[in-house]
Chain A
Amino acid sequence: AQSVAQPEDQVNVAEGNPLTVKCTYSVSGNPYLFWYVQYPNRGLQFLLKYITGDNLVKGSYGFEAEFNKSQTSFHLKKPSALVSDSALYFCAVRDGIDNFNKFYFGSGTKLNVKP
């Protein structure tokens, strides 16, 4: 079965410092991995995805994610955090074999960036 784990409920970082939001996955077949961001009272917005190719994926708003097959991880990173990055972040994996319509989400990580 496909699943995603986000081990941290909350991540606190000072503005200007690098940030990492962790995600590990379990999937049959090739992993199709995604990161989404949710601002208060809004729907989720797509940040970036990994399908194949380079292990470092660049996305919106200066975010990037590192795919590590051996550790089954897909951590979200940003070199220099902004206060405006404070939001709820979700990792997701798409079913790779049985049903390409099914996406599985982690429980979310709240990112707090302090001035």
Chain B
Amino acid sequence: DQQVKQNSPSLSVQEGRISILNCDYTNSMFDYFLWYKKYPAEGPTFLISISSIKDKNEDGRFTVFLNKSAKHLSLHIVPSQPGDSAVYFCAASGNNFNKFYFGSGTKLNVKP
């Protein structure tokens, strides 16, 4: 059941540069896509979302892009900061929000 995939297990970026985290999905019925950030020993924390009717959503340093035809979304963090170092999960849901599918996560390391 690999409906949401994050193919890069890790990413290392220099402080101040852009971090781009990618996510692919297979189910065209997904309506909402979310990014979560997770620090060790903590639960995932909601970061930003996008609905399928949009192709971009921006919140401060974080921007999520959705390409429905390619079934691909990405999270851009600019500028990256050392405090952004965490595991980032992409998640997707249909419009009933009863069930969320998560990717396997990408561990981001922002080097000072």
Asked whether A and B interact, the reply is: no
Interface residues of B (CB under 8 A from A): none
